[in-house]
């Protein structure tokens, strides 16, 4: 190799060596930094009490990054084995991620990291992972995929919304403030709330004894300082109790101090918010432990030892041994200290002796899975699993199913209830805290027996003798009938044993709390709404007192002191009674919307094809059968003149009410859906292939409804029918058809009995002509009847065309099936006597709007008295009610088109009358926008609404002037001649009333009279026709008049051409009222007549009325102003604009000042464009022509 090549290679090696040295220095610096960070992390862990020893929880594991060299790696303790417990998955993944970061050389690939993770799994988690590894699953090649699969399998993801919900109900309970703050901060980190919102929630969750101490203090402004102050306050209280205990003698004070110290949370929680402890002053006693003697307590107090475990370094309320107690340890207590009741489970004739545990610490009633399977019970899945937690706060198991309802009998007490299913406990049956709250029994805790039931259990008593066993029968046992027996006359006898499901009085009672309670979550940062207080009449006050008293007695409402207050008012019913109504529109605007979907009828078309027998059920008082979530009742507060109240049940008018009820009814009937049941809100359709199976299906549904405190309205239900109308469809054996009622508005369109009615129908038809081939030829007989020249006479051809068009309107391809996945368009209109609406959708094939349904109905007598705004709003309401099953569950917000612009603001208006407010509450159930559409484009609903307009009645002409002002009747000689000629002649049938038929011999004389009389002055064809048609008639009158006028020699000599000149059109502004815009001009040089030689022509440009004012000479500007004041302003008021030419009178300063004083503007025409004042110029021509024609016979033909 030559010297040049050798030197170049040496240079390259030196540069590489320098770069390697820089990289090594960078790695050393990075390693040093990582050591410092790790040290700080360890220091933070050691300083933070109660933190997880495995590191903080992370939402997702940290991917491996660049790490220091092997010599700088930190030796970490191996992760704890993870066996699949919910809640411990994220700490385990975080622990593994820390090992990956600090030992990069040991984990060079994702597969190595996954192998390390699997080696630290145990139990069911290890079984799952080994199975994935053995089959070489793709999960074992990607660390991120494996971590996600592990979390999805063993740790159900809780969303930030769930954490926020838990945060709103978390309480300190028996925990220390430090423990409560740790739980609070953990939830707050995942909720996404800001510090301002967290401040109030933390303060609300503190124990009452801490809040009482903080009230008189000057509270800090930030959350961290508030937590620190609360901890110091609790420590001060603890020291005070300790001093009082040490300063007193005897066991009494020691026991009181011990009961104050020893506080622990409930045994386990099976609530969707498991970390919430009960906020009560008393805590459950410690079980399985002996009481400390006075000497031992004094010794531990003096030495600073824990009263629970006896160790140094911590007080009793933060004892780790006490917090580590588990449910299994508590369950191992002596049976004599627990409320254990003998239970006999009977099913299909076989009995099994068990022991039921009455446990006030259980948030639900529980049954062991194996027991449910052994009894042959059918479990139903829950919409959302419930996680049970123990004293340590960790998850024990997930509850995913609930049993079918059973009849539970304890002595002479009988009820129907369900149990949540669980596994992994020695107790087979647990009656939880909700069961105790519902029945409020008095229990002898020494024997575990129930001595007395609460006052609300009278309806559950049976006539059997009281016993000491609890009996559970899967065979349904109906409760005792209520005070009012239901009417079963319309119910088949095979369902009479389920009569209580039709009981009206039971539907008015307060339902129990269930997982389906209506939640009212408000938008963060929103202001609590408060409505107005409506004034009420004496009759309304009486109705108010009755409603409030009945609702309070039924437990549906209660007195309230909340900050929310909606307006309460009444609206009238058709029968004259009053309906209570509450305006929750402001609350709905700030409520987080529940997007639970409403079902589609098309989803069960296939199952309905096989059905032959149908039953339709309508639930009674449906929304009041759902409770408001505990803690949300205050948001339903409403103001009345009698006081402030709030609902305990779901009221009508809440925006989420349909979604909440649909979720509940779906869960209640979930195992029946898509098999033999379809349910849409409170409407239930049951379908079966034969009658025997149908009876079984209906019985199962009725029993399920009764078990869940849902009741049926017998008077609106249909049983065992072969054809049923349901949600806009007609369902029959093997067929599902569109309800003919939805096109009845067009199908039953009455035959037009007048030309106006026919024009309305054709206006409606013209909008759909593009969808009908050969529309013009089909509608030709109808169009022929619209001509005013022909007599209106309905012909067989017109009837055929009319029926053909109606059939085409109500069939495909014009009429389409509604598709909930596309946007709906609702067009509405109202007339004086009816209303109409069209439901349409834009087709994906041609992009045009096709109708889906038509609506038209006559207004009632009361509705006719509505003003136009309320009638238009009524049309919107009726249309939404008619097509509710399509519009309420539509995927996209729909559009409502109306030709009444004021309706655009109905949803934001501040002040509404009672009727409008009630309708607006109904509108809140839908997602739509109101848009204005001019009446010229809103023809379709307009034609439907005018079907009911009465036929026009011909009225006799009435004189304008009273008879006292009539001096005499004006008559013409020609009229007498015509009447004399008609004597004895048969008048044609087409002759209008109040007109004289002119025989052919007199027609030319009539035309000559109308055209050449002194009052007409040789007018044109139109005016001549008008003069004749006022008193005379004959067939084909206009051609003869036109021929006569064209041959008139006087008109030919004296009339100038009126053809338009070429040029630009410069129109004047359109006038707004009569005599506001006038134009004027002078006609001069006329022969002297009674001393007058000049005529002032004044034209009203609005009404075309003209004034000809005779003058002796051409006046000056001052004279012109006087004439205007005396002849124009005196009779017609001040004008706003005066158009004139540029004569000396109109350009003078006097004239301009005069116009300014009367508030009129001066508009002058240009010198070479007199057509700007065309109306006046044209009337001047007509005046001159008329005068010339009048004087022409006097001066000879050549004049």
More confident residue, 811 or 787: 787
What pLDDT does 1134 receive?
92
Is 158's pLDDT higher than 80? no
Ordered structural domains, the chain, with CATH: 27-154 (no CATH), 160-325 (no CATH), 336-480 (2.40.70.10), 499-738 (3.10.10.10), 742-813 (3.30.70.270), 816-950 (3.30.420.10), 973-982+989-1047 (1.10.340.70), 1077-1195 (3.30.420.10)
Q: Tell me the percentage of the chain whose pLDDT exceeds 70.
A: 71
What pLDDT does 1112 receive?
92
Structure tokens at 1017: 């002055």
Mean pLDDT of the chain: 75
Model pLDDT for residues 516-561, shown as the tens digit of each residue:
888 888 888 888 777 777 777 788 888 888 888 888 877 888 888 8
What pLDDT does 599 receive?
75
**3-state SS of 525-592?**
CCCCCECCCCCCCHHHHHHHHHHHHHHHHHCCEEECCCCCEEEEEEEECCCCCEEEEEECHHHHHCEC
Min mean pLDDT across 2-11, 919-928, 1125-1134 is at 2-11
Distance CA 1128, CA 1136 (A): 12
Per-residue pLDDT band for 332 (boundaries 50, 70, 90) equals very low
What pLDDT does 1120 receive?
93
Is 169's pLDDT higher than 90? no
Interval 1125-1131 mean pLDDT: 91
Distance CA 728, CA 685 (A): 13
Q: Which residue has the tokens 């898509």?
A: 674
Per-residue pLDDT band for 61 (boundaries 50, 70, 90) equals very low
| Buried-state track 49-80, b at ≥16 Cβ within 10 A, e below 16 | eeebebbebeeebeebeebbeeeebbeeeebe
Model pLDDT for residues 113-149, shown as the tens digit of each residue:
888 888 888 887 888 888 888 878 888 888 888 888 8
What pLDDT does 436 receive?
82
What pLDDT does 1138 receive?
92
Is 1155's pLDDT higher than 90? yes
This prediction has a pTM of 0.40
Min mean pLDDT across 40-49, 202-211, 656-665, 1126-1135 is at 40-49
Is 250's pLDDT higher than 60? no
Is 958's pLDDT higher than 60? yes
Q: How, if at all, do strands 1161-1164 and 613-618 pair?
A: unpaired
What pLDDT does 814 receive?
59
Q: Which residue has the tokens 């809040």?
A: 211
What pLDDT does 354 receive?
64
What pLDDT does 338 receive?
53
Backbone angles phi, psi at 133, to 5 degrees: -70, -40
Beta strands in 701-833 (DSSP E): 718-721, 723-726, 729-732, 735-738, 824-830
Per-residue pLDDT band for 602 (boundaries 50, 70, 90) equals low
Structure tokens at 415: 């009820």
What pLDDT does 1121 receive?
94
What pLDDT does 860 receive?
83
Min mean pLDDT across 29-43, 89-103, 756-770, 1132-1146 is at 29-43
Min mean pLDDT across 638-642, 643-647, 806-810, 1013-1017 is at 806-810
Structure tokens at 396: 């024990």
Q: Tell me the percentage of the chain whose pLDDT exceeds 90.
A: 5
What pLDDT does 1117 receive?
92
Per-residue pLDDT band for 458 (boundaries 50, 70, 90) equals low
Q: How, if at all, do strands 677-680 and 683-688 pair?
A: antiparallel
Distance CA 990, CA 1007 (A): 20
Per-residue pLDDT band for 4 (boundaries 50, 70, 90) equals low
What pLDDT does 307 receive?
65
Most confident of 172-186, 388-402, 864-878: 864-878
What pLDDT does 55 receive?
40
Nearest to 1185 by CA among 1046, 1027, 1019, 1022: 1019
More confident residue, 527 or 453: 527
Is 12's pLDDT higher than 70? yes
Distance CA 257, CA 279 (A): 20
Model pLDDT for residues 1087-1104, shown as the tens digit of each residue:
888 889 999 999 998 988
First to last CA, the chain: 133
Per-residue pLDDT band for 1017 (boundaries 50, 70, 90) equals confident
Distance CA 669, CA 679 (A): 9
* Helix, strand, coil tally for the chain in percent (to 5): 45, 15, 40
Model pLDDT for residues 553-593, shown as the tens digit of each residue:
778 888 888 888 888 877 766 666 777 888 887 888 888 88
Interval 871-899 mean pLDDT: 83
CA-to-CA separations, 526 to 96, 194, 769, in angstroms, rounded: 42, 14, 51
Model pLDDT for residues 1037-1055, shown as the tens digit of each residue:
888 998 888 888 888 888 7
Residues 6 or more apart from 452 whose CB is under 8 A from it?
Answer: 441, 442
- Give the sign of the dihedral formed by CA 396, CA 397, CA 402, CA 403: negative
Is 1195's pLDDT higher than 50? yes
């Amino acid at each position: 190799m030559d010297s040049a090549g050798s030197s170049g290679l040496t240079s390259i090696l030196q540069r590489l060596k320098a770069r390697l040295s820089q990289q090594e220095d960078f790695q050393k610096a990075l390693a040093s930094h990582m050591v410092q960070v790790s040290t700080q992390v360890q220091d933070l862990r050691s300083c933070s009490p109660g933190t997880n020893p495995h590191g903080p929880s992370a939402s997702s594991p940290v991917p491996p990054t660049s790490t220091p060299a092997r010599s700088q790696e930190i030796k970490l303790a191996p992760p704890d084995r993870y066996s699949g417990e919910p809640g411990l998955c994220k700490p385990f993944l975080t622990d593994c991620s820390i090992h990956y970061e600090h030992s990069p050389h040991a984990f060079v690939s994702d597969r190595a990291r996954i192998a390390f993770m699997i080696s630290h799994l145990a139990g069911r988690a290890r079984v799952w992972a080994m199975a994935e590894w053995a089959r070489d699953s793709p999960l074992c090649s990607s660390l991120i995929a494996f971590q996600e699969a592990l979390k999805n399998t063993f740790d159900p993801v809780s969303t930030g919304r769930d954490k926020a919900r838990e945060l709103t109900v978390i309480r300190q309970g028996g925990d220390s403030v430090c423990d409560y703050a740790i739980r609070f901060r953990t939830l707050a980190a995942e909720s996404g709330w800001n510090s301002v919102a967290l401040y109030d929630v933390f303060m609300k969750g503190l124990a009452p004894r801490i809040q009482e101490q903080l009230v008189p203090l000057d509270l800090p402004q930030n959350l961290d300082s508030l937590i620190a102050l609360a901890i110091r306050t609790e420590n001060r209280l603890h020291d005070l109790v300790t001093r009082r205990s040490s300063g007193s003698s005897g066991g009494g004070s020691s026991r009181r101090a011990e009961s104050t110290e020893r506080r622990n949370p409930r045994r386990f929680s099976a609530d969707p918010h498991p970390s919430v402890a009960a906020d009560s002053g008393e805590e459950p006693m410690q079980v399985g432990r002996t009481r400390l003697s006075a000497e031992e307590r004094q010794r531990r107090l003096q030495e600073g030892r824990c009263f629970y475990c006896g160790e140094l370094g911590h007080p009793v309320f933060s004892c780790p041994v006490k917090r580590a107690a588990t449910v299994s340890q508590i369950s191992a207590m002596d049976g004599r200290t627990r409320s254990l009741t003998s239970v006999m489970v009977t099913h299909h004739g076989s009995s099994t002796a068990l022991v039921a545990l009455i446990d006030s610490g259980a948030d639900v009633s529980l049954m062991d899975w194996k027991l449910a399977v052994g009894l042959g019970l059918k479990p139903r899945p829950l919409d959302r699993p419930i996680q049970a937690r123990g004293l340590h706060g960790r998850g024990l198991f997930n509850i995913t199913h609930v049993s079918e309802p059973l009849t539970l009998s304890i002595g002479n007490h009988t009820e129907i209830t369900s149990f949540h299913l669980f596994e992994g406990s020695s107790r087979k049956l647990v009656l939880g805290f909700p069961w105790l709250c519902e029945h409020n029994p008095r229990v002898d805790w020494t024997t575990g027996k129930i001595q007395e039931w609460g006052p609300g259990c009278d309806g559950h008593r049976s006539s059997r003798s009281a016993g000491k066993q609890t009996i559970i029968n899967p065979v349904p046992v109906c409760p005792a009938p209520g005070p009012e027996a239901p009417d079963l006359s319309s119910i088949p006898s095979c369902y009479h044993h389920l009569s209580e499901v039709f009981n009206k009085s039971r539907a008015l009672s307060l339902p129990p709390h269930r997982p389906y309670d209506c939640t009212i979550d408000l938008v963060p940062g929103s202001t609590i709404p408060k409505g107005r207080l409506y004034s009420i009449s004496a009759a309304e006050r009486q109705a108010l007192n009755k409603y409030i008293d009945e609702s309070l007695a039924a437990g549906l409402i209660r007195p309230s002191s909340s900050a929310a207050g909606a307006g309460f008012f009444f609206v009238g019913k058709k029968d004259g009674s009053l309906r209570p109504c509450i305006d929750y529109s402001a609350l709905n605007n700030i409520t987080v919307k529940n997007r639970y979907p409403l079902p589609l009828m098309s989803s069960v078309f296939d199952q309905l094809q096989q059905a032959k027998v149908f039953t339709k059920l309508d639930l009674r008082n449906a929304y009041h059968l759902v409770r408001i979530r505990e803690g949300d009742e205050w948001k339903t507060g409403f103001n009345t003149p009698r006081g402030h109240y709030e609902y305990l049940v779901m009221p009508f008018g809440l925006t989420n009410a349909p979604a909440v009820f649909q979720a509940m009814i779906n869960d209640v009937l979930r195992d029946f859906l898509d098999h033999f049941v379809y349910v849409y809100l409170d409407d239930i359709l049951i379908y079966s292939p034969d009658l025997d199976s149908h009876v079984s299906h209906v019985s199962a549904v009725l029993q399920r409804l009764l078990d869940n405190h849902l009741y049926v309205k017998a008077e609106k239900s249909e049983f065992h029918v072969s054809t049923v109308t349901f949600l806009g469809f007609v369902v029959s054996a093997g067929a599902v058809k569109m309800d003919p009622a939805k096109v009845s508005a067009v199908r039953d369109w009455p035959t037009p009995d007048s030309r106006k009615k026919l024009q309305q129908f054709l206006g409606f038809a013209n909008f759909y002509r593009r969808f009908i081939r050969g529309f013009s030829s089909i509608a030709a007989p109808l169009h022929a009847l619209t001509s005013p020249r022909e007599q209106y006479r309905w012909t067989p051809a017109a009837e055929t065309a009319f029926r053909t068009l109606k059939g085409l309107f109500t069939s495909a391809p014009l009429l389409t099936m509604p598709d909930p996945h596309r946007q709906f368009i609702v067009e509405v209109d109202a007339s004086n006597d009816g209303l109409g609406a069209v439901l349409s959708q834009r087709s994906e094939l041609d992009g045009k709007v096709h109708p889906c349904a038509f609506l038209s109905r006559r207004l009632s007598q009361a509705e006719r008295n509505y003003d136009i705004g309320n009638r238009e709003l009524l049309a919107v309401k009726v249309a939404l009610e008619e097509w509710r099953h399509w519009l309420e569950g539509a995927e996209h917000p729909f559009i409502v088109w109306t030709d009444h612009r004021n309706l655009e603001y109905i949803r934001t208006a501040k002040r509404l009358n009672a009727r409008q407010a009630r309708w607006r509450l109904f509108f809140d159930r839908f997602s739509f926008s109101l848009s204005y559409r001019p009446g010229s484009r809103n023809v379709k609903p307009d034609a439907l609404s005018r079907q009911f307009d009465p036929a026009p009645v011909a009225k006799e002409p009435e004189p304008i002037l009273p008879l006292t002002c009539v001096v005499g009747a004006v008559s013409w000689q020609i009229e007498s001649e015509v009447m004399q000629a008609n004597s004895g002649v048969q008048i044609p049938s087409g002759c209008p009333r109040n007109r004289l038929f002119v025989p052919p011999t007199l027609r030319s004389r009539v035309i000559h009279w109308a055209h050449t009389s002194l009052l007409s002055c040789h007018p044109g064809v139109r005016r001549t026709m008008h003069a004749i048609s006022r008193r005379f008639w004959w067939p084909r009158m206009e051609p003869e008049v036109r021929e006569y006028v064209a041959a008139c020699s006087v008109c030919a000599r004296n009339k100038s051409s009126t053809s338009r000149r070429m040029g630009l059109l410069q129109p004047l502004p359109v006038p707004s009222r009569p005599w506001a815009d006038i134009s004027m001009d002078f006609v001069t040089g006329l022969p002297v007549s009674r001393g007058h030689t000049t005529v002032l022509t004044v034209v009203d440009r609005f009404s075309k009325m003209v004034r000809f004012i005779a003058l002796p000479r051409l006046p000056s500007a001052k004279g012109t102003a006087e004439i205007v004041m005396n002849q124009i302003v005196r009779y017609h008021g001040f004008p706003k604009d005066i158009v004139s030419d540029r004569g000396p009178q109109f350009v003078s300063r006097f004239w301009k000042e005069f116009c300014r004083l009367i508030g009129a503007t001066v508009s002058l025409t240009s010198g070479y464009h007199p057509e700007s004042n065309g109306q006046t110029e044209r009337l001047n021509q007509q005046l001159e022509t008329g005068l010339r024609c009048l004087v022409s016979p006097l001066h000879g033909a050549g004049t």
